Amino acid sequence: MHRVDTTQLLKGVLDLAVLAVLCEEDGYGYDILRRLRAAGLADVGDASVYGTLRRLFNAGYLTTYVVPSDEGPHRKYYALNPAGRAELQRGGKVWYGFASTMNDLLRERGTA
C-alpha cells in the first residue's frame, strides 16, 4: 500500500492556501509562512512559500509594496488584487468539488 505523502498533496494546493491566507490580510514572506503553519500546514517549506509568492505575483494575482522595518531590512508585503480574489473564488469552487468527490469516494468504501 502506498502511503499518502502530505507534502505531495500540499504542492497541489499551496497556491490556493497562500491566496486564502492573503485574503484575510496582506503579509510578508515569513509572516505568510507562519500563518500557513498556524493554520495546520506544518509541512510547508520556506522555499515553497517564497516560490509560490513569486509565481502568484508573476501570474498577476498579487501586488506588492515595501514597508520599512526598525528591526532589519525593509519587508516586501504581498496583497491580493481583484484577479487574485477571482482566482481564490475559482480555486475554492474547484477544491470543494474535488474534496466532496473524494469524501464520497472514501465514504462509499468505508474508509472515512
Locus of grid cell 514572506? 29
- Does residue 58 lie in a domain region? yes
pLDDT at residue 1 in the model? 45
pLDDT at residue 4 in the model? 57
- How many Å apart are CA 104 and CA 99, to the nearest integer? 9
Q: Which residues pair with 27 in a beta bridge?
A: 78
Task: Locate the DSSP E strands across the chain.
Answer: 27-28, 62-67, 75-80
Three-class secondary structure of residue 79 per DSSP: strand
- Does residue 1 lie in a domain region? no
- How many Å apart are CA 107 and CA 54, to the nearest integer? 38
What CATH number does residue 48 fall under?
1.10.10.10
- Does residue 15 lie in a domain region? yes
- Does residue 104 lie in a domain region? yes
What the block records as the C-alpha cell of 30 is 515569513
Give the residue numbers spanning the domain of 77: 6-108
Q: What dihedral do alpha carbons 10, 16, 18, 19 form, nearest 10°?
A: 180
pLDDT at residue 87 in the model? 97
pLDDT at residue 43 in the model? 85
- Does residue 47 lie in a domain region? yes
Per-residue pLDDT tens listing for the chain (112 residues): 455 566 666 777 999 999 999 999 999 999 999 999 999 998 898 899 999 999 999 999 999 999 998 888 899 999 999 999 999 999 999 999 988 998 898 888 776 5
CB atoms within 10 A of CB 26: 16
Locus of grid cell 525593509? 74
- Does residue 38 lie in a domain region? yes
- Does residue 74 lie in a domain region? yes
Question: How many folded domains does the chain comprise?
Answer: 1
